[in-house]
Amino acid sequence: MPYGAAMATVLVVEDDPLVRSALIRHLSDVGHAVRSVGTALAALREVAQVGCDLVILDLGLPDLDGGEALKMIRGLTDVPVIVSTARDDETEIVRLLNDGADDYLVKPFSGEHLTARMTAVLRRLGTAAAPAAPVLRVGGLAIDAQRREAVLDGRALDLTRREFDLLAFLAARPGVVVPRKEILAEVWRQSYGGDQTIDVHLSWLRRKLGETAASPRYLHTVRGVGVRLEAPVAPAPAGEPGR
């Protein structure tokens, strides 16, 4: 979904059932699609496996400190995160913003205040988006970066935000072995670590492209170097009968 559009897919991470219900009701009423979880681990699974357009993250979670959960989310995705906190402390808020939060709200807050902050965050990210680019085509893959849509052999692919970013990044360099460090820096915005994260996302992408690491069609891993995306090689025509 393009940023700034009327509806966003929002993940509410809040362990208090009353607060969670109120947030879901308000966000649904104003037209957003809402999913909700009550723990940090469930939130990490959601952003990694399903994806969303924006996360509202409560800091007082039962299984993990919200600040640590924020750092872990940032290791998986650059999805916008609005922190919901009862800690009205400037030092703490500055730390959260430095750790990757896009905005924050101090409890209690109204639904209207939340909606206004969400709209501002999504508009800001939409304004900062890159200019329109041509559709990338590699074999049967067509990737529209502007519309954030990917099609394989005429079939739309259901990709998470990070999967799409990874696929588009590699498709912009067809046939080139892209070092893992470069993938990490450009797609994950990290300067170190993350090999396992890249491997997990490559595995999910391969599944959606109908291939495996053992029998790749588009995504090829070059051991110790990086990843290459290229069009599948067409099978050689069979020889004429009798030859």
Q: What are 90-104's pLDDT values in tens digits?
A: 788 888 888 888 888
Do both 53 and 106 map to the same domain? yes
Do both 33 and 120 map to the same domain? yes
Contacts of 110 (CB under 8 A, 6+ apart): none
Do both 110 and 146 map to the same domain? no
Q: Is residue 179 part of a domain?
A: yes
Domain end residue (candidates: 88, 103, 127) = 127
Do both 180 and 222 map to the same domain? yes
Q: Is residue 185 part of a domain?
A: yes
Measured distance CA(161)–CA(148) in Å, rounded: 9
pTM for this model (two decimals): 0.52
Helix, strand, or coil (residue 106): strand
| DSSP characters over 51-103 | --SEEEEES--SSS-HHHHHHHHHHH----EEEEES---HHHHHHHHHTT-SE
Do both 121 and 192 map to the same domain? no
Amino acid at residue number 102? D
Per-residue pLDDT of the chain (243 residues; tens, 9 = 90+): 333 334 788 999 998 889 988 998 888 888 888 889 999 999 998 888 888 889 999 988 898 888 888 989 988 888 899 999 887 777 888 888 888 888 888 888 888 888 888 888 887 766 333 344 568 899 999 998 777 899 999 999 999 888 998 998 899 889 999 998 888 877 877 666 667 888 899 999 999 999 999 999 999 999 888 999 999 976 655 554 544
- The domain total for the chain is 2
Helix, strand, or coil (residue 19): helix
Q: Give 202: exposed, middle or buried? Use CB within 10 Å, 0-12, 13-18, 19+.
A: buried
Do both 73 and 118 map to the same domain? yes
Domain coverage including residue 146: 136-229
Contacts of 169 (CB under 8 A, 6+ apart): 178, 183, 186, 187
For residue 67, give the CATH number of its domain: 3.40.50.2300
Contacts of 148 (CB under 8 A, 6+ apart): 1, 2, 161, 164
Domain end residue (candidates: 127, 152, 176) = 127
Do both 62 and 27 map to the same domain? yes
Q: Is residue 238 part of a domain?
A: no
Do both 213 and 154 map to the same domain? yes
Measured distance CA(35)–CA(10) in Å, rounded: 6
**78 close to 65: Cβ distance less than 8 angstroms:** no
